Structure 1
Amino acid sequence: MGLLSVLALSASISVAACATTYDYIVVGSGPGGAPLAANLARAGYSTLLIEAGGDEADNPTYRDLGNFIEACNDEASRWDFWVKHNDDPKVDALFKHNTWDTGDGTFYVGQNPPAGAKHLGIQYPRAGVLGGCSLHNAGVSSLAQDDDWNIVANLTGDSSWEASKMHRYLKEISKTEYLPAGNPDHGYNGWLSFIADDPSWAKQNNTPGVRIVHKFAELIGQKGEDALTLLSQNDLLSSGPNKDEKSSLFNMVYHANAQGKRSTPRDFVTATLADPAKYPLTLKLRTLVTKILFSNSTTSPRALGVEVMEGASLYRADPKHTPGAKGPISQIFANKEVIISGGAFNSPQLLKLSGIGPASELTQFGIKVIKDLPGVGEKLGDNYEASIMALTKEPIPAGLMTTIFRTPNAPTKKRNIYAWCGPFSFEGFWPGFPTNYGPTQWECAMVQIGPKSQRGTVRLRSADPQDTPDINFRFFKDQGDADISELVSASNILREAWKAAGAPAEPFQELHPCPGELGKAPCTDAMQAEYIRTQAYSHHATSSCAIGADSDPMAVLDSKFRVRGVQGLRVVDASAFPVVPGAFPVVPTMMLSQKASEDIIADAKKA
């Protein structure tokens, strides 16, 4: 595509058409909303996709996957949510990366803020941009556990959610670039490209990195000499029987193409917009949806459309927001349905602002109750994340060692830890993250699969749609000791593998959770548990508008994503999952979006 064509396409997606009525309105252009809007338009339905942010087009900060740290820190798209991890402010105060507004346009990160600084909380960045968080994440791609799909089938009686039937949605969206065509477990004609890591570093003989990866393979029941084969051939996106019980090394997969460029739902949207004569999709950028409009019926309210405020950086999570900034307000209507895809924070907020949620909370802010749904904004869940970090005597030349494994204290036979190790630093999010410890840094980062506590909440701070909600993850509220003990067990296994490094990498000087020389400094399970309890972090929020059983008063959605008690309204994004799906929810959310597309189009054809 030439320069003029690129400029023309960018211009074409900056301004929406003047029509005020569409078949469908989709609010939010992330991994849930963007594919859905494109699919509806490709099925012939006039569809409006609304995004509060802009479009970063081919900005290399976003387009090149290797720049994900810069993308996540970039004010061009960053939305800052300042969250709590705990009900007890004394516990949250122990988190080392608490953030403060100094009042001079800068942040202070730490536990000893300057006088007069305003405490903000713990940063949880999201992306206000076309494509949502798929534009600023690290691109890591993995599957949900089979049980994460089966739970929906079991709760609702809808067998279409069974894991054996869900994998086809991945095949439909996939363009697999790391395997030769013809593998029946993969798709090759979809809009989402996948590539895999280059594990050739593991060919080296008798180097510290290779010794570590060989030892780790042995610790999880594999053969050390098979490490290169496992890293090369074990496929994270393969289904197969008992896949969730297989502890092994794996080849890390990314949603990107062979040139290292991100592959995201944005690409699917722009490809759809490029043929307006065939696909009736309209995109409205820099537009904040302030409420859902309903009919006046008191017995069977129906979503009729949305109210919007137009302008850039209107939402206060946007660091570019100007206090007091407003925009013109208008209404847009849907002939068929309104679909909310704002993500785990914004979807429940918008439902509540529109009168759908716990009646007691809505009346507190003077919001007319359309439907009392106590589960809206409840059951917020996330993967717990933690890391062990050290400095080595000499740098360890190695790529990423990726593994999914089961700790001995896991509650079932299923794997419960996704980890990756290498010469990098990642310890959570704060303005300007991460800390660069230099060329000798060595880390193993962990994501817990299947956390047992989902007691987080997304609640209104005010009735102002420009305001951010009050978010509290309530880490470790239920069965917290069990969750922590699994992370401690994983730390011990990973650390044991480090001891195989040998010269010239040793000695390791561990920075956390057990500061001091590896093998000599005290490192008890209790010490590690306390560190994890106060320093765990997360960035995979889900389940705040969860699908559930008809008999469950906390269920927000039915199995077809329909909001209970109202008509013409669905939620399609990560907030719909009843449990946190696997270790990384971005690919499961795109699979969920593909399923929702099929369900909605099928319903439209019946009407």
Structure 2
Amino acid sequence: MHWARLRGGEIREHQTKGKYAESEVKKKGQKRTKQGELFGFNGFDQRRGVLQDLGVPLLHQIISSPEVALCRCKNAWHVMLHKKASFPSKRLEKQGRNSATPDLPPLRKASSFSKIQHEAYDYIIVGGGTAGCPLAATLSKKYKVLLLERGGSPYGNRNISYLENFHICLTDESKNSPSQGFISTDGVINSRAKVLGGGTCINAGFYSRANRRKHRYQKMGLILFDLTITRRIKWFSMVGQIYQDISQLFNLKPRCRFVKDAGWDEELVNQSYPWVEERIVYWPKIAPWQAALRDGLLEAGVSPYNGYTYDHLFGTKVGGTIFDEAGYRHTAADLLAAANPDNLRVLLHASVNKVIFKTRHGHQKQSAIGVQFKDENGGHHQAFLSQKRGSEIIVSAGAIGSPQLLLISGIGPRSELKKHNISIVLHNEHVGKGMSDNPLSSVFIPTKDPPKQSLIETVGITDDGVFIEASSGFGQTGDSIHCHHGIMSAEIGQLSTIPPKERSLEAVHKYVRNKKSLPKEVFHGGFILSKIDGPLSTGNLVLVDTDPNSNPNVTFNYFKHPQDLRRCVYGIKTIEKIISTNTFSNFTPKDGGYSMEKLLNMSVAANINLIPKHTNDSTSLEQFCRDTVVTIWHYHGGCHVGKVVDQQYKVIGTSGLRVIDGSTLSRSPGTNPQATVMMMGRYMGVKILRERLGRAAGV
């Protein structure tokens, strides 16, 4: 094993002079001490707090473990891993799954269902998305599972697989498109996934865990440094490192506020996150625009610098990503490689239009016994649960699809069901209520040269409930369709030429098709984004018809709660501080003369929604927030815990039916929900196995 000794003097020289610390690399066998097993690593960059060696880019993850400590002994830094700790050597060699074609169970078309011998299943999962895939993989270890996905496969689709084609997925309205556009009644253009892997196939790839509480020593008022003494970034890096070290030294384990509020088992949560991370999560190679945001955030006072970490910590950090070093996307569908292929049947283009119920003898509750679905050719099929006790239908169709399917199946407000002539299985006035979408505002910044494309990598987490992120650049491969700006992304600009009253979804798509003849780049620049935590504003979802493939009417009521609007204004003011730092002066044209007022006016034109804009009101940040609100696709709700499902995600008033996905969340976890929703699928799969099998579950 390779190990390195980093001399304290070299580290100090690096911090003060900005030079990389040199390491003495020696080949030795495994060295044991009384305290534990000593591991050292090549390429330790103390200023960034990350292992630059591609083989081991894991420093912050390593030292955040309660079993690992970063120690200083005899003028050298050591990473100590206790003997009882579980830390597989393969994990040190490479992170994530590097194969573009993971070893998956067979992915069959739904029409093949009629050609196979019918059998009963222990679990039928509706929706092979962010939660459904890890859930199916876990349950298949011990039980027969049928996974029904209404979309197709993500594999072989370059627009899904490659980072540079991220924006193209959102404009694709073809029959087999991985995304399905919809417009909320608020006038905000949005998208829902229609592909195996769900939202992880069409999102920006950022990976970050749910919110944490402050460390106990922070609550005691321990101040490590008065950060107002100096604004030099190198000190913030050191503070972030010390922040992590002291946590380990005193065994200060932060508790996750989101986890506690959800009523989850924290130990199982801490086992479930790494299960996802070791399979599909990577550290990004920071793009210049992301590095500029990082340094600008620190100069603007969003500190300390917490380095590369999955944890949700106040300050500035670099999070994980599901794009590997080559820019290849790894989705929740890859997690199916962990399944037992003999127990898992995956059907694509299987659109479930009804959950089948039956009143069992001696029971007042309606029991879910199967589902009815339509295949890619329009053929109808039914799949049923086995007679085993504990068999269940699990709906994981997402925050739009899950409440929609419950309503179509007869569970929801009586008045809403009668309106569409749906037989009432269970009256529950809360189905479809409490819909939320985190509003996103962005400021467009012109640059001297076209910036390299980057999606979310760096984030500033403020204690005022605002997250600051960034994206930049455009691009596509030669094999892709030749349009350049996604209509539902923050990285769009020219659609403002369509008058607001004429901005129907059809008009927008027509504009994009006709835009192919435009020059490749109409403007050069990047965006700094402000997302608010929560949010506190909520809306509802109601049916338009009983077709599960059509979009229901969704209202999010952006900024209805005044606190959401106040947070948005705070976010824009924080962006103004970042733009005024020396860091961003290197990007903008020296003779541009871009005042904040001018940038805001440009941003009003660049952000596309169907909301009439007040272009003459640039002095009001509140109005700017209302005019420019777009989505970051973190909508949730509709099947809240305690109202539609219980703490075990069982649909209240029924048996044999659960909902496990983002529709059960009352607020979005952390800066991006995908980490927690994938974890949730694994977590609930393990929990169900343990409840049924005890120690025999083997997980």
Could you tell me the TM-score, scaled by structure 1's length?
0.73
Paired residues for 1:458-473 under 5 Å: 458-473=541-556
Aligned in 2, Cα 1:463/1:235: closer, same or farther, shift over 3 Å? same
2:51 maps to none
| CA displacement 1:120-171 (0-9 Å, x = unmatched) | xx4322221111121122211112213796456447xx452x5x75232111
Letter of the structure 2 residue corresponding to residue 558 of structure 1: D
Paired residues for 1:258-407 under 5 Å: 258-270=325-337, 272=339, 276=341, 279-296=342-359, 299-311=364-376, 327-335=378-386, 336-394=391-449, 403-405=458-460
Aligned in 2, Cα 1:438/1:65: closer, same or farther, shift over 3 Å? same
1:592 shift after superposition: 0.9
Q: Quick check: 2:443–2:529 contact (8 Å CA) kept in 1?
A: yes
1:146 partnered with 2:229: no
1:33 partnered with 2:132: yes
1:579 maps to 667
1:560 partnered with 2:643: no
- Counterpart CA distance in 1 for 2:212 and 2:104 is 43
1:199 maps to 286
1:329 shift after superposition: 1.9
- Counterpart CA distance in 2 for 1:491 and 1:3 is 37
Q: Quick check: 1:405–1:415 contact (8 Å CA) kept in 2?
A: no
Q: Quick check: 1:417–1:447 contact (8 Å CA) kept in 2?
A: yes
- Counterpart CA distance in 1 for 2:637 and 2:528 is 27
2:160 maps to 62
Q: Quick check: 1:540–1:585 contact (8 Å CA) kept in 2?
A: yes
Letter of the structure 1 residue corresponding to residue 571 of structure 2: L
| CA displacement 1:88-113 (0-9 Å, x = unmatched) | xxxx4xxxxxxxxxxxxxxxxxxxxx
Aligned in 2, Cα 1:530/1:331: closer, same or farther, shift over 3 Å? same
Q: Secondary structure at the match of 2:151?
A: coil
- Counterpart CA distance in 2 for 1:476 and 1:2 is 43
- Counterpart CA distance in 1 for 2:553 and 2:456 is 37
Could you tell me the TM-score, scaled by structure 2's length?
0.64
Letter of the structure 1 residue corresponding to residue 685 of structure 2: S
Letter of the structure 2 residue corresponding to residue 284 of structure 1: L
2:49 maps to none
Q: Quick check: 1:81–1:123 contact (8 Å CA) kept in 2?
A: yes
Aligned in 2, Cα 1:465/1:439: closer, same or farther, shift over 3 Å? closer
1:284 shift after superposition: 1.4
Aligned in 2, Cα 1:123/1:283: closer, same or farther, shift over 3 Å? same
| CA displacement 1:394-445 (0-9 Å, x = unmatched) | 55679779543355xxxxx465213125456852786449997546313212
Q: Quick check: 1:142–1:582 contact (8 Å CA) kept in 2?
A: yes
- Counterpart CA distance in 2 for 1:211 and 1:523 is 31
* Alignment match of 1:489 (pick from 561, 565, 573): 573
* Alignment match of 2:177 (pick from 74, 77, 87): 77
1:60 shift after superposition: 2.6
Q: Quick check: 1:371–1:565 contact (8 Å CA) kept in 2?
A: yes
2:150 maps to 52
1:505 shift after superposition: 2.4
1:370 shift after superposition: 1.6
Aligned in 2, Cα 1:37/1:476: closer, same or farther, shift over 3 Å? same
RMSD after superposition: 3.7
Q: Quick check: 2:179–2:195 contact (8 Å CA) kept in 1?
A: no
- Counterpart CA distance in 2 for 1:369 and 1:451 is 32
Q: Quick check: 1:418–1:583 contact (8 Å CA) kept in 2?
A: no
1:198 shift after superposition: 1.9
| CA displacement 1:434-457 (0-9 Å, x = unmatched) | 99754631321222223221x121
- Counterpart CA distance in 1 for 2:292 and 2:99 is 48
1:466 shift after superposition: 4.3
Aligned in 2, Cα 1:271/1:502: closer, same or farther, shift over 3 Å? closer
Q: Quick check: 1:247–1:415 contact (8 Å CA) kept in 2?
A: no
| CA displacement 1:460-487 (0-9 Å, x = unmatched) | 1123444321111111122243243233
1:385 shift after superposition: 0.8
* Alignment match of 2:468 (pick from 408, 413, 418): 418
2:687 maps to 599
1:496 shift after superposition: 2.5
1:444 maps to 528
1:179 maps to none
1:257 maps to 324
Letter of the structure 2 residue corresponding to residue 442 of structure 1: G
Letter of the structure 1 residue corresponding to residue 654 of structure 2: V
Letter of the structure 2 residue corresponding to residue 534 of structure 1: D
2:90 maps to none
- Counterpart CA distance in 2 for 1:531 and 1:296 is 54
Q: Secondary structure at the match of 1:234?
A: strand
Aligned residue pair count: 497
Q: Quick check: 1:543–1:580 contact (8 Å CA) kept in 2?
A: no
1:534 partnered with 2:627: yes
* Alignment match of 2:315 (pick from 244, 247, 252): 247
Aligned in 2, Cα 1:544/1:492: closer, same or farther, shift over 3 Å? same
Gaps of at least 5 residues in structure 2 are: 1-97, 214-254, 475-484, 493-507, 604-614
- Identity score, percent: 24
- Counterpart CA distance in 1 for 2:292 and 2:412 is 54
Q: Secondary structure at the match of 2:680?
A: helix
Gaps of at least 5 residues in structure 1 are: 87-91, 93-121, 176-191, 203-208, 224-229, 313-326, 408-412, 517-521, 549-554
- Counterpart CA distance in 2 for 1:540 and 1:372 is 28
Q: Secondary structure at the match of 1:390?
A: strand
* Alignment match of 1:167 (pick from 236, 253, 270): 270
Letter of the structure 2 residue corresponding to residue 513 of structure 1: L
Paired residues for 1:106-125 under 5 Å: 122-125=188-191
Aligned in 2, Cα 1:504/1:280: closer, same or farther, shift over 3 Å? closer
Q: Quick check: 2:440–2:531 contact (8 Å CA) kept in 1?
A: yes
Q: Quick check: 1:29–1:130 contact (8 Å CA) kept in 2?
A: yes
